[in-house]
Amino acid sequence: MARPTSVRIVEMGPRDGLQNEPGVVPLAAKVALIEALADAGLTAIESGSFVSPKWVPQMADTAEVLATIQRREGVRYPVLTPNLKGLELALAAGVTEVAVFAAASEAFSQKNINCSIAESLERFAPVLDLARAHGVAVRGYVSCVLGCPYQGEVPVAKVVEVAEALIAMGCYEVSLGDTIGVGTPDKAKAMARAVADRIGVARTALHFHDTYGQALANVLACLDLGIATVDASVAGLGGCPYAKGASGNLATEDLVYMLNGLNIETGVDLDLLAAAGRAITAALGRAPTSRVAQALAAKAA
């Protein structure tokens, strides 16, 4: 299949990017980040999580974040909801889209959400039902699609099985998470192809962490399958609290630069995006890890 002519970027910075920050990230910095990302043209900005504040303290102010941002027409602000309690809090905050997250690895499922894969799918079914009743769209994630920090190898068949289960219960798309960034292009493409063959290319999204510097190469390989939805995190922020050593997602600046070069439309203004990345990393007291962000900053200096 040919590469897509446009790619929808789902921005992870405010959620996956910040969830593992050790220090307190002020509410104002989170709100400014989300608004700057919308200014840059991103239309899907994952803005927080309704998870246990004991498990992920950094996301404990998600309701305040959602109450403070100026929501824009045409921009979606999804949040993670692992269970009914999370969805009820999300509904009270007026969300129009949520995401549930399963894993292809039993060990990771236990560490991340304290239950087996099968139990997690059972737990998601009423979440999907209630979301549907409120007209709220639900995205699904599968974590550890190319390897697990606890279990090592993860069979592609398990990834396909979990992705199909999420679609069967009503998720509109499934994002394939290489949580610890160990994948390489041929493996990533084979895994994504196996999933897309079953759930359809249009329902398949990519979520690569850049721990081993492979994320951009993995995206490029999978674009050849026609997949047109890619998750990325501004400035390369991030890491998962239950995947030790996992670094940020693919940096959004790096993704947009590559897609611009390939003449693939994203609707994102790279300069405004890089400015958003500089602002949040300044608030965190460090520099962006995105190579494109560093190159743009050096050129401007």
Stretch that binds ligand HMG, among 3-11, 28-36, 236-244, 280-288 (CB under 6 A): 236-244
| Sheet strand arrangement including 204-208 | 8-11, 229-232, 204-208, 173-178, 137-143, 97-103, 79-80, 48-49
d(CA 288, CA 17): 12
Helix or strand holding residue 182 (H, E): none
Residue nearest to ligand HMG according to CB distances in the complex: 177
How many residues are given for the chain? 301
d(CA 219, CA 206): 7
Q: Report the Cα 236 to chain-centroid distance in Å.
A: 12
Q: Please tell me whether residue 210 binds Mg ion under the rule CB under 5 A.
A: no
- Given a contact cutoff of 8 angstroms between Cβ atoms, the answer to whether 40 and 14 are in contact is no
Residue 108 partner contact from ligand HMG, Mg ion, none using kind-dependent CB cut-offs of 5 to 8 Å = none
Q: Please tell me whether residue 110 binds ligand HMG under the rule CB under 6 A.
A: no
SS3 6: strand
CA–CA–CA angle 272, 214, 117 (5° rounding) = 100
Residue nearest to Mg ion according to CB distances in the complex: 16
Stretch that binds Mg ion, among 14-22, 70-78, 112-120, 217-225 (CB under 5 A): 14-22
**Binding to ligand HMG in span 8-47, by CB under 6 A:** 16, 19
d(CA 84, CA 118): 16
* Comparison of 174 and 270: residue with beta carbon closer to ligand HMG: 174
Q: Please tell me whether residue 82 binds ligand HMG under the rule CB under 6 A.
A: yes
Determine which residue in the list 242, 254, 256, 273 makes contact with ligand HMG, applying CB under 6 A: 242
* Comparison of 124 and 296: residue with beta carbon closer to Mg ion: 124
Q: Please tell me whether residue 16 binds Mg ion under the rule CB under 5 A.
A: yes
Return the C-alpha torsion angle 108, 112, 116, 122, nearest 10.
-130
As beta bridge partners, residue 100 has: 140
* Comparison of 243 and 270: residue with beta carbon closer to ligand HMG: 243
* Comparison of 91 and 211: residue with beta carbon closer to Mg ion: 211
DSSP state of 3: P
Catalytic positions are 240
As beta bridge partners, residue 73 has: none
Q: Please tell me whether residue 56 binds ligand HMG under the rule CB under 6 A.
A: yes
d(CA 174, CA 4): 18
Q: Please tell me whether residue 46 binds Mg ion under the rule CB under 5 A.
A: no
**Binding to ligand HMG in span 124-163, by CB under 6 A:** 141, 143
Determine which residue in the list 47, 109, 112, 204 makes contact with ligand HMG, applying CB under 6 A: 112
Provide the binding-site residues for ligand HMG, judged by CB under 6 A. Answer: 16, 19, 49-52, 55-56, 80, 82-83, 85-86, 89, 101, 112-114, 141, 143, 177, 179, 207, 209, 240-242
Provide the binding-site residues for Mg ion, judged by CB under 5 A. Answer: 16
